[in-house]
Amino acid sequence: MTVLGDSQRILEVKAWGWTQQPGCVPLSRKVFRKWLARVNATHFEEDATLCFMELLTNAIRIPSPDGLTETTWLLFEDRLRIEVRDFSSEAPYLSPSDLEAESGRGLILVHLLADRWGYEHSSFLDGNGGYLPGKTVWFELRK
């Protein structure tokens, strides 16, 4: 990530690895909200928490070599950016889901709530001198 100009100066960064179990989602929600309060960014809380939960819930379903899903939270002067990494090279996509379905609306919510969102393909070290394909899915909310 490149930081340009005063409006893009990073004020706070938090990186966190979450276990790939559904039980990490409620805990991550609490930790994320406490972090937003600590960095005086509670004005982002409702939309940011929902978007973060959607991305994390999707990512923990994709096994990683160490059993963790890595996240990075970045607070800039003019926005909040949340990044979630996973070990799938498949691009995220908005899928119109059945109205009766219990899942499948996460990225639609991110698309509607975030000012910007996207993904970047990336590679991760596998611990044995090789690389594994993956991606980072991110969203941004502006002040």
- On whether the 11-142 domain is CATH 3.30.565.10, my answer is yes
Tokens linked to 1 = 């990530």
Average pLDDT over residues 68-96: 93
In this predicted structure, the answer to whether residue 4 has a pLDDT above a threshold of 50 is no
Give dist(CA 59, CA 90) in Å, integer.
12
Domain ranges of the chain: 11-142
Whether residue 97 has pLDDT greater than 70: no
Strand partners, 76: 10
pLDDT at 65: 87
Q: Could you read off the pLDDT of 30-46 as tens digits, one per residue? A: 999 999 999 999 999 99
The rounded distance, in Å, linking the Cα atoms of 113 and 54 is 12
What distances in angstroms separate CA 94 from CA 2, 50, 73, 118, one per listed residue?
27, 16, 23, 11
Which contiguous run of DSSP H or E holds residue 58?
A: helix 45-59
User: Each residue of 38-73: pLDDT tens digit?
Assistant: 999 999 999 999 999 999 999 999 999 889 999 999
* Residue 102 pLDDT: 54
Closest CA to 87 of 115, 102, 68, 74: 68
Per-residue confidence band for 8, with pLDDT thresholds at 50, 70 and 90: confident
- Distance separating alpha carbons of residues 30 and 34, to the nearest angstrom: 6
Confidence band, pLDDT 50/70/90 cuts, at residue 106: confident
pLDDT at residue 7 greater than cutoff 70: no
Give the pLDDT confidence of 112-130 residue by residue, as tens digits: 999 999 999 998 887 788 8
pLDDT at position 93 = 81
